[in-house]
Chains A and B, each alone.
Chain A
Amino acid sequence: MSSLSFLGPRHMARTLGRRKFWEVVLLVGFLLVFYGPLLYTLVLAFAGQYTYPDILPKTWSLQWWKYVLKQPALIKSMVYSFEFAICSVLLSLAVCLPAAYVLARYKFTGRRLIMFTFLIGNAFPKIGMYTSMGIIYYKVGLMGTFLGVLLVHMLGSMMQMIWLPAGAFRSVPVQQEEAARDAGAGPLRTFFYVTLPMAWPGIAVACMFAFIGSLGESVGTLMVGLPTYRTMMVEMYGVILDYPATAGAVFSILLIMPNLLLILVMRKYIGADTISKGYKMG
C-alpha cells in the first residue's frame, strides 16, 4: 500500500506543487467529462455479462454487434445514410464550387451581400427553416422523396461548401492561373489542372464537414424523409427506445466511426489556417 502512496493526493500535491496539482485535477476532470461517455459506450458495446455496480463487464463479447448487424432495418439505414452523404457532397460540389469560384474571383456589386446571406441562413434555428421547407415540399411533391431529403442535407452544409472553397480559391494567386492560360490551356483545363489542385485542401475540408454533417442530420430527415428514408440518425431515436442499451452503444459507435476515420485521414488538411482562410470576408 505504501508503495502506491505516491498516487495519493497529498503526495502528488507535494511533488507537483499546489498549482500543478489543481491543473492535473482539472485536466483529468475535463477528460472524464469529455471522453467518459465515449469510453462507457465503447465498454458497453463489447460487453457480455455486465451488472450494475461493476465498472468493467465480467465477460466481453461481440454478441451485440452480431445482433445489430442482423437487423435489416438498421443495415438499410446505414446504406441510406451513406447514400445521402455521398450524393449530397457530390451535388453540393457541383453547385457550390462554381459559385465559390465566382465569389472568389469576380468583383461584382452585391458580392459581399451574397456571402453575408449565407451566414445569416446559418444563424436561424434549423427547425424553423425545415417547417417552411416542409410546406413548400408538400406543394411541389418533394415530401418523402430521395431528392427532398438530399436537398435538406445540402442546405445544411451550403454555407461551408461555399465559404471554405471560396477562401481556398482566393488563396490561389491569379498569376498561376494566367500562366496556365499563357501555356495554352483554356479556362476549363486551367481550372482542373491548376486552380482545383491548389485549392484542394480547403475544398476537401469543406467536403469532410459536409459529409459529417449529412451523416449527423436528423431533424430535417425525420420531417421530410419519413416513412421511407430512415437514416442511421433517424433510426437512432428508435434504437434508444426499442433496443437494449448495449445495442444502442454498438449503433452509436457505427455512427461515430466514419467521422473518426474521415478526420484521421484528413488531419493534415485540417488546420486553423485552411479554415480561417475560408471564413474571411474578402
Chain B
Amino acid sequence: MDETIKLEIRNMTKLYKNGDGVKNINLKVRKGELMTLLGPSGCGKTTILRTIGGFLQCNAGEILIDGKNIVAMPPEKRPTAMVFQSYNLWPHMTVYDNLAFGLKLRKIPKPEIAERIADALKLVKMEGMEKKYPNQMSGGQQQRVAIARSLLLKPEVLLLDEPFSALDAKIRMQMREELRKIQTDLDITVVFVTHDQEEAMALSDVTVVMNKGSVEQIGSPYEIYHHPASRYVADFIGEMNFIEAKLGVHTAIRPENITVRKGPGGDLDGTVRNIMMLGHYTEMIVDTELGLIKAFLSGGEAEEFVRGEAVSLYFSETKEFSE
C-alpha cells in the first residue's frame, strides 16, 4: 500500500449549539485505504463525515486532502463525493441524468459522458438501467447507482454514511463485498461510516472506534479485536466476558479463547447453566462465583456436556483493564 497520506484531520472540533458533537479529532487516511468510523448511535460518525464533505463547518482544526486545507471550501469545490444512507438520487431524473449531472457541470463532451456512464454502470452491475427512474428500482439498486454517481466524480476521497444500512442482510453483505472489490480495483481512498461492527471488520483496512464524540482507538480490525485499547473497545467489538478477580481490575476474555473441561481445577470453575446450538458453533453459559461466563465450543466438543454439570474453564488469551 502507498504510504502517502491522502486525508488528514488535525485537532478538529465540531460542536452543535446544544453542546453535542465531536472534539479533538485526529485522523490520517493513506491513499487507497478504506477507513471505517465505527461506534454506537450518536457518537459523532456522521458529524465527522459531513465536516469532510463540507456540509458542516468545523469550529476548530484542519482537514487536509493531499496536504491542502479544505475547511474553507463549500461542498461543490471539495474533491470529495458522498453517498448517503438514503434519498441519494434525484427522483425527477432518470438514472442517466442522475449520473450525467456532475459530468455536465464539468463540461465533459456528450459522447464521453455516455461512455463513462456505461462504464460506471457496468462497474456496479447495473448495465442498461439508464432510462429507469429511481422509484422504479429497489433500494439496493438505488444505492448502486448512487455509488456509481459518486465514482464518476473521480473524488480524491469517497465518503459513505451507512450506505447499506437500509438494505436487508443478504444484499448488505453482497454490496459490502462488491464495494471492497471496486475500491481495491480502482485504488480509491474511502471513509465509511457504520454502526455495524461486522461490516467494519469485513471492510476496513483501518477502523476508528468512537465513543461519545471522541476517538477511542484506531487500528486494523485485527488489532482492534485482539488488542483493544480500552474496556470500552473490548466491550463494543465482538463478544467479551469481564470478570473482576481483583478489586478494580477487570479481566477480559473472549468466548472463543475459553476451553471447557469436565471437573474442577481450571482458571475458573463453575456449572453449566445453558447450552445453545448456533449453527457451526455452540454457545455455553457457565455459572461461576465471579458471574456468568460465555464460551464458544465447536459442535463436537459441546456434545459431551449436559446442563448442571461441573466444569472448569481454561483461558488462553486474557487482557486486563483497571478502572
| Chain B stretch 63-101: residues in CB contact (< 8 A) with chain A | 74-76, 80-82, 84, 86-92, 101
**Chain B residue, CB-CB nearest to A194:** B90
Cα–Cα, bound, A178→B153 (Å): 15
Nearest Cβ on chain A to B79's Cβ, whole angstroms: 10
Answer whether residue B21 sits at the interface, using C-beta atoms and an 8 A cutoff: no
Complex interface: stretch among A13-21, A181-189, A223-231, A261-269 = A181-189
Residue contact B149 to A183, C-beta cutoff 8 Å? yes
Is A38 at the interface (CB under 8 A from chain B)?
Answer: no
Q: B interface, how many residues as a size bin?
A: 20 to 34
- Judge if B53 is at the interface, Cβ distance under 8 Å: yes
Asked if A178 contacts B102 (CB within 8 A), the reply is: no
| Pairwise interchain contact A178-B55, C-beta atoms closer than 8 A | yes
A182 touching B75 in the complex, CB below 8 Å, given contacts A193-B101, A197-B92: yes
Of chain A, the residue at the smallest CB distance from B102 is A183
Find out whether the CB atom of B53 lies under 8 angstroms from the CB atom of A182. yes
| Contact across chains for B75 and A181 when beta carbons are under 8 A apart | yes
Are A182 and B80 interface neighbours, CB within 8 A?
yes
Q: Which residues of A contact B76 (CB under 8 A)?
A: 181-186
With the chains together, A200 CA to B75 CA distance in Å?
A: 25
Is B246 in the interface zone, CB < 8 Å from A? no
* Measured CA separation A176–B82 after assembly (Å): 11
Set of chain B residues within 8 Å of A184, measured between Cβ atoms = 76, 102, 105-106, 153
- Are B88's CB and A175's CB within 8 A? yes
Say yes or no for A86: interface residue by CB 8 A criterion.
no
Given A186-B76, A198-B92: A180 and B84 interface contact (C-beta under 8 Å): no
Residues from chain B with a CB closer than 8 A to the CB of A197 are 92
> Of A176, A181, A186, which contacts B90 at CB under 8 A?
A176
Min CB distance A150 to B, Å, is: 32
What chain B residues lie within 8 Å of A37 (beta carbons)? none
Beta-carbon contact of A179 and B84 below 8 Å: yes
Q: How far is the CA of A257 from the CA of B127 in the complex (A)?
A: 49
Residue on A with the closest CB to B82?
A: A182
Q: Is the CB of B74 within 8 A of A181?
A: yes
- B-facing residues in A149-204 (Cβ within 8 Å): 173, 175-176, 178-186, 189, 193-194, 197-198
* In the complex, residue of chain B having the shortest beta-carbon distance to the beta carbon of A198: B92
Residue pair A183, B153 in contact (C-beta under 8 Å): yes
In the complex, what residues of B have CB within 8 A of residue A189's CB? 105
Interface centre among A184, A185, A193 (most CB of B within 10 A): A184
B105: nearest residue on chain A (CB-CB)? A184
Shortest CB–CB separation between residue B207 and chain A, in angstroms? 25
Q: A173 to chain B: which residues have CB within 8 Å?
A: 87
**Docked pose: A11 CA to B53 CA in angstroms:** 76
Alpha-carbon separation in the docked complex, A198 to B93 (Å): 10
For residue B108, give the distance in angstroms from its CB to the closest CB of chain A: 11
* B123-145 at interface with A (beta carbon < 8 Å): none
Residues of the B chain whose Cβ atoms lie less than 8 Å from the Cβ of A178: 53, 55, 75, 82, 84
* Residue interface mask A202-241, B partner, CB < 8 A = 1: 0000000000000000000000000000000000000000
The 8 closest A-B pairs by CB, nearest first: A183-B102, A173-B87, A181-B75, A175-B87, A184-B105, A175-B84, A197-B92, A184-B76
* B interface residues, Cβ below 8 angstroms from A: 53-55, 74-76, 80-82, 84, 86-92, 101-102, 105-106, 146, 149-150, 153
Selected A-B contacts with CB under 8 Å, 15 pairs: A176-B91, A178-B53, A179-B84, A179-B89, A179-B146, A179-B149, A181-B54, A182-B81, A183-B81, A183-B149, A184-B106, A184-B153, A185-B101, A185-B105, A198-B91
Other A-B pairs, 17, CB within 8 Å; known A182-B80, A193-B101: A173-B87, A175-B87, A176-B88, A178-B53, A178-B55, A179-B88, A179-B146, A180-B90, A181-B74, A182-B53, A183-B81, A183-B149, A184-B105, A184-B106, A186-B76, A198-B90, A198-B91
